Each structure stands twice: as C-alpha cells, then as structure tokens.
Structure 1
Amino acid sequence: MIKPWDPSDASYVIDSHYALYKKERGYDETFRAFIAKKVDEIKTRGSDRERIWIVQEGKKRLGSIAITEESECVARLGLFLLAPEARGKGYGKQLIDSALTFCREVGYEKVTLTTNSDLHTARALYEKFGFAIVHQVKKQYSGYELVDETWERSLLS
C-alpha cells in the first residue's frame, strides 16, 4: 500500500536512506545529514504542494518518495527509495505514479529530479515515466566521485 506520510515517518525516511546507501553504496554520515535536512525542510514548511509517500506492507515500511516545490510551476521528485525486499513488486511504479498524479492535481507543469548515473534501476523507471536527462556534472558524494544527473518531465501534454 502507498500512503501519505505523517511526521512520525520522518525517522524511517532518514534511517532507511542512510542504512541502504551505506550498505549498497558505501555512503557516509554526510548522506544521513543531507537526507535529514531534506525531510526537516518538508516537515517545517508543511506545504499543501509538497508531500511524502510511504510504501507499507502491514506495519512494515518499505520505501518512500517525495515531491517538493521548486517554483509555482516546477516540482522536484526526491527521497525515492525501495527496500531490497520491496523491489520487483511494482512499488516503484506506484510511488512515481502517485507523485506525478499529485503534481498534476496541484497544478505543476514540470517535474525535475536529481539522481546519479550509477542508480540504474531508478534511472530506468524515470525513463519509463517520460523523464529525460537535461544536465550532467561530476560531484563528490560521501567520498565518491559520481555523475550527478538532472532529469525533467513535462506534465503539459
């Protein structure tokens, strides 16, 4: 099930991102701080044009996605994560679909996101949903040099 988050889910979003990226990618504590800042900003703003969704099976939380407001017309997709045991069950598609439906409902015209080139599965999903790469740059994250990618998708057609 995909459900809108409530503030009690904040620690889950932060801890799950950090644990998964530390295990699978070797990310350090700077990544935890980055995610905590993003979650805190969403919580603090409390905007009706921003939302986080959680994948939940029974009482177990297995993933997340968020939409934040970049401008009146542009939304940013982020905090996209699926626990390994949730992968391959269609939850990624459901999360992205929920996020894009929300964006249309609140009047965004475009959705943007930032990912890195080594997240192949997420990138494939973004492409299936009509996102395209518009910018790439090398950056340092958690002690690794990665290719940071900005993707966009219009909601106007």
Structure 2
Amino acid sequence: MSMGEVTVRAADRPGDLGWVVMAHGELYAAEYGWAVERVTAGIVAAFAPGADAAWIAELDEHRVGCVFCVREDATTARLRLLLLDPAARGLGLGRTLVRRCVEHARAAGFSRLVLWTNAPLAAARGIYLAEGFVLTAEEQHDEFGVPLLGQDYELDLTA
C-alpha cells in the first residue's frame, strides 16, 4: 500500500466517538462475526474527556484507527478500543496508537497500564508484547456472541 498522509490526533471532533462505535461494530462483525457494538458503545459513553484521553488515526484525512486511555484508579490506566481499519494496516499506525497511549499514561503519573483483548487478535497482541506488556490472566467468555479466550495484559510504567 502506498503511504498517504498519516496523522494521529485527539479524538475531539464531531463524529469521532460515533465513528469509534460504528467502526468497531462493522469491522469486528465482518472480520470475526463478533457482536461488539453494544460493548463498544458503553465504553465510549463512559469516556470522560479531561480525565481520559483518546486518539484518532487518519490516512488522507479519513478516520482509520483509534485508541483510548482511560483512568481505572489512582495508579492504573486502561488501554481500550484499539482499532485499525484494514486499509491502514502495515503502516505502523497500530504501534503508534499504542505508544501514544503508553506515553500519555506514563506522563499522567500512572504506575501501570492494563488492557483486555481476545486471543484471535494476533496482530494487536504482537504490538502489546513488543511494547513490554505481560500476559497476566486468561478466561473464556461469550460477551461478543461467540466463545472466546479473553486475555488481560499489564505494563509496568515505573520500569
């Protein structure tokens, strides 16, 4: 794929949060048959600008990815809703979004960053492991309408 103009910006424009819900719903249904829209909408509805942070990746001024960093408690932030449209994969945007979240959590004074993902998401897992996240737990669930292995990861931000 030829490299267009790539930008990562705060998710603060009209339509950004709606796009996150729509993109998750459409992409996960198409690629995996998962019903994630309700769960995604709940996460987006709980997003608190100022306390939490979110970014949108754009390719040629079109939204193609996102990530959220939300406060879990006084010492812990949670990486949520990492997504990259297939048209933008292979450009390093996934890694850029994860690093943006890690840098924000560290700068905000959190001592750890946690995340929850699912075993089939190998590309995301590769990014998390490359950034130093460690698998801390696994558990079967059917939250998205199919049996899945959920995985918890943690990154020590004080190291």
Matches within 5 A, 1:71-150: 71-150=73-152
1:65–1:99 contact (8 Å) kept in structure 2: yes
TM-aligned CA deviation for residue 58 of structure 1: 2.8
Residue in structure 2 matching 1:33, options 38, 56, 67: 38
The runs of at least 4 aligned residues of structure 1 exceeding 3 Å deviation read none
Partners of 1:146 and 1:55 in 2: how far apart? 28
Counterpart position of 1:24: 31
2:52–2:70 contact (8 Å) kept in structure 1: yes
Percent identity reads 28
Aligned-residue CA RMSD (Å): 1.0
Partners of 2:84 and 2:34 in 1: how far apart? 17
Aligned length: 152
**What TM-score do the two structures reach when normalised by structure 1?**
0.93
In structure 1, runs of 5+ residues without a counterpart are: none
2:8–2:55 contact (8 Å) kept in structure 1: yes
**What TM-score do the two structures reach when normalised by structure 2?**
0.92
Q: Which amino acid aligns with 2:111?
A: E
Counterpart position of 2:3: none
1:113–1:150 contact (8 Å) kept in structure 2: yes
2:59–2:88 contact (8 Å) kept in structure 1: no
TM-aligned CA deviation for residue 6 of structure 1: 1.1
2:70–2:77 contact (8 Å) kept in structure 1: yes
Partners of 2:156 and 2:13 in 1: how far apart? 30
Counterpart position of 1:152: 154
